[in-house]
Amino acid sequence: MSTYKITNITNYLGKRDYKFNSNIDVEFVDNMVKKTITLKPNDVAYLSIPSLPLSVHRLRVKNFITVSEVNNSEINDTQTKVLQKPEFVGVSQAEPKKEEEKKPEKKVVEKKE
């Protein structure tokens, strides 16, 4: 089985092209079940299948996606990058600010007749 990296490149098409920034549906068969993956512009998906389906070839010929075969070491590198999240330094959203807790009191003004 081979692993393929499929990238949606509709964001690079011309601005007046009818498929500019459109979502692409990639259909394939996995264990006798037809599955569909929706790729947003500049999105990447990895497929582990024995051969590329005809729908992927059609999209590649129309220049809507790029397909490249990757090995296991490249997949492991991308997974480790995704798992390592950068630390966020700042105020966490779980702790509300003290200024927001205090609500200003409204002044009541009486009209004199």
The tens digit of pLDDT for each residue in 15-40 reads 999 999 999 999 999 889 999 999 99
Q: 19 and 64 in contact (C-beta within 8 Å)? A: yes
Is residue 47 in a domain? yes
Two tokens at 105?
């009191």
Is residue 61 in a domain? yes
Is residue 35 in a domain? yes
Is residue 84 in a domain? no
Low-confidence ranges of the chain (pLDDT < 50): none
Per the structure, the complete domain to which residue 65 belongs is given by 2-71
In residues, how long is the chain? 113
pTM across the whole model: 0.67
Q: Rounded to whole angstroms, how far apart are CA atoms 6 and 9?
A: 10
**What phi, psi does 26 have (nearest 5°)?**
-105, 120
Tally of domains within the chain: 1
Is residue 78 in a domain? no
